Amino acid sequence: LQAALAEQRAIAQIGAGGGNVVRVGQVKEGDVIGYMIIGRSTCSSGTHVHFEVRKDGGLQDPSQFLSNKSVTFENSPDGSFSFGGSWSWPISDPIYIEQGYGMTDWARIGWYGGGPHTGIDIFSSYSLAVKAVKDGELFRGSIGCGGGSLSFARVDQSDGIQTFYLHTVP
């Protein structure tokens, strides 16, 4: 519980522009921008990408931006949900969903201090590569979390949307 609360605080700080952030440069949709950290890492329960979308600073449901495709849901008891956008996915098939956006079961039992899960947690059994979902400017960063350092990437798109890729390294 303490790790989840620390992660929630770190994510809120990242979304507000916090952390040690370095501008990398322009990226194109599909460019590899990092790699999932294998196993448990700072404020992470295991190998996955916490994928988050913000527009003008406000949280958005990532599933509304990602293209519809077949995925495996491993997020019981929450179950499946749909995808309604046109964006490519940040990881390669096969894709597994560990947790969705919003008031998930983990959120309802208090893992995020009563708040929602702010992104979707996904992983691939094929590749650790994480790709930009749209063109934009790439930033890499880290922030203190649970006694360690949570690593992430961020892509600022020209339409005011920022995508975040947590638990990744260059």
Question: Could you give the 3-state DSSP secondary structure of residue 163?
Answer: strand
Overall pTM > 0.85 = yes
Go through 24-51 and write b for each residue having 16 or more CB atoms within 10 A of its CB, e for each that does not.
eeebeeeeebbebbeeebbbbeebbbbb
What tens digit of pLDDT does each residue of 22-57 get? 999 999 999 999 999 999 887 788 999 999 999 988
What tens digit of pLDDT does each residue of 105-160 get? 999 998 888 889 999 999 999 999 999 999 999 999 998 888 888 899 999 999 99
Please say whether the beta carbons of 125 and 95 come within 8 A.
no
